[in-house]
């Protein structure tokens, strides 16, 4: 029997990280996701643990924006119409959460013991003369721990879906049956799943470092405010307040990151 929880249409991309992620910037989330799609499609994460090279590919999905940890380029000048300001805490949190979302997206195509529709989240299909997301032409159902069925809304797109699954870099050998694409999914050994968990941890640590660099960038500006270097319009009390709020936002984002990591690692190790 196919459980309802095993059916997914992919129309929603919201992160599943709990209440504290409701303020995520959804637009930034989608941009990060789209930029990483092609790289994730070329990874082989089904039958073996990620190699060092595959880990490098995963981290490259989270390539840093040189501007993400830079705040307030303006220096105080009595003769200038432009004056420096303290960092916006909302902006700081948005930048941090954008990175957490990118990490979560990079985890979607990493599978463990039990397959999920997430494996096909980034799949792009050539149909009707253009490249479209899988959810535009089909629905995925996990029919067993070793098989997925992709039902095409138009049976004529089934060969294109089959080819896209075959070429997604996971060593799948899909078959077309009556307008549906049947995907046998090999099991992953316990040893390989443990290696995957270790690699996920390394990627999460790299992401934590980026979050902390954003914090440092914001706090560097806050320190100037505390030292009275941002001009007379910014009080030391305001600077201290913003500094505390930046730290609180950092803790919130690190907790969100840890939640994503723990949930993914648990799903990889589950028997």
Q: What is the pLDDT of residues 123-148, one digit of tens each?
A: 899 999 899 999 899 999 999 888 99
The pair of three-digit structure tokens given for residue 49, joined into one six-digit string: 């643990």
188: number of CA atoms within 13 Å, CB side?
27
Domains by residue range for the chain, with CATH: 18-113+191-269 (1.10.132.20), 117-184 (3.30.1360.40)
Which range among 34-38, 71-75, 122-126, 230-234 has the greatest average pLDDT?
A: 122-126
CB atoms within 10 A of CB 163: 15
Highest mean pLDDT among 22-36, 41-55, 94-108: 94-108
Q: Does 201 have pLDDT greater than 90? A: yes
Read off the pLDDT of each residue in 86-92 and give the average, rounded to a whole number.
94
How much of the chain exceeds pLDDT 70, in percent? 70
pLDDT at 115 over 50: yes
Instruction: Read off the pLDDT of each residue in 172-183 and give the average, rounded to a whole number.
Output: 92
Question: Residues 104-118: what's their mean pLDDT?
Answer: 77
Measure the CA–CA gap between 96 and 175, rounded to whole angstroms. 42
Please give the residue that has the higher pLDDT: either 266 or 109: 266
Distance CA 58, CA 97 (A): 18
Q: For the whole model, what pTM was predicted? A: 0.64
**Other Cβ atoms within 10 Å of 21 Cβ, number:** 20
Between strands 175-177 and 180-184, the pairing is antiparallel
Q: Is the pLDDT of residue 6 over 60?
A: no
Per DSSP, the three-state class of 83 is coil
Buried b (16+ CB within 10 A) or exposed e, 217-236: bbbebbebbbeeebbeebee
- Is residue 94's pLDDT more than 70? yes
The token pair at 26 is: 């959804």
Q: Do 182 and 161 meet the contact criterion of CB atoms below 8 Å apart?
A: no
Which parts of 25-88 fold into alpha helices (H)?
26-41, 52-61
- Tell me the sheet residues that pair with 151: 139, 180
Alpha-carbon distance 203 to 91, whole Å?
Answer: 24
Average pLDDT on 76-99 reads 79
Q: Fill in the DSSP letter of residue 88.
A: P
3-state secondary structure of 180: strand
Q: Does the pLDDT at position 171 exceed 50?
A: yes
d(CA 207, CA 257): 8
Residue 113 has pLDDT above 80, yes or no: no
Q: Give the residue-averaged pLDDT of 143-169.
A: 92
231 φψ region: left (φ > 0), alpha (ψ -120 to 50), beta (else): left
pLDDT at residue 118, rounded to an integer: 79
Assign 83 a pLDDT band (cuts: 50, 70, 90).
Answer: low
For position 180, what pLDDT does the model report?
93
pLDDT band, very low/low/confident/very high, at 162 (cuts 50, 70, 90) = very high
Q: Is the pLDDT of residue 52 over 90?
A: no
Interatomic CA distance for residues 199 and 74, integer angstroms: 40
pLDDT score at 159: 94
């Amino acid at each position: 029997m196919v459980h309802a929880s095993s059916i997914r249409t992919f129309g929603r991309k919201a992160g599943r990280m709990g209440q504290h992620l409701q303020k995520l910037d959804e637009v930034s989330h989608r941009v990060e996701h789209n930029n990483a799609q092609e790289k994730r499609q070329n990874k082989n994460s089904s039958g073996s643990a990620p190699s060092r090279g595959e880990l490098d590919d995963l981290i490259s999905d989270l390539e840093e924006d040189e501007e993400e940890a830079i705040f307030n380029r303006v220096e105080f000048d009595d003769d200038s119409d432009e004056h420096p300001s303290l960092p916006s805490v909302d902006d700081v949190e948005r930048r941090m959460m954008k990175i957490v979302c990118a990490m979560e997206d990079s985890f979607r195509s990493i599978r463990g013991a039990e397959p999920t529709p997430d494996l096909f989240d980034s799949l792009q299909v050539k149909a009707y003369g253009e490249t479209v997301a899988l959810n535009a032409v089909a629905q995925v159902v996990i029919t067993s721990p070793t098989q997925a069925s992709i039902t095409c809304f138009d049976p004529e797109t089934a060969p294109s879906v089959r080819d896209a699954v075959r070429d997604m870099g996971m060593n799948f050998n899909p078959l077309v049956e009556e307008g549906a694409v049947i995907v046998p999914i090999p099991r992953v050994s316990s040893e390989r799943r443990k290696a995957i968990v270790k690699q996920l941890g390394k990627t999460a640590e790299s992401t934590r470092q980026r979050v902390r660099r954003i914090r440092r960038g914001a706090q560097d500006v806050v320190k100037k405010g505390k030292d009275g270097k941002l001009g007379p319009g910014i009080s030391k009390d305001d600077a201290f307040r913003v500094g505390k709020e930046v730290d609180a936002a950092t803790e919130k984002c690190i907790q969100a990151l840890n939640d994503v990591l723990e949930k993914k690692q648990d799903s990889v190790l589950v028997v």
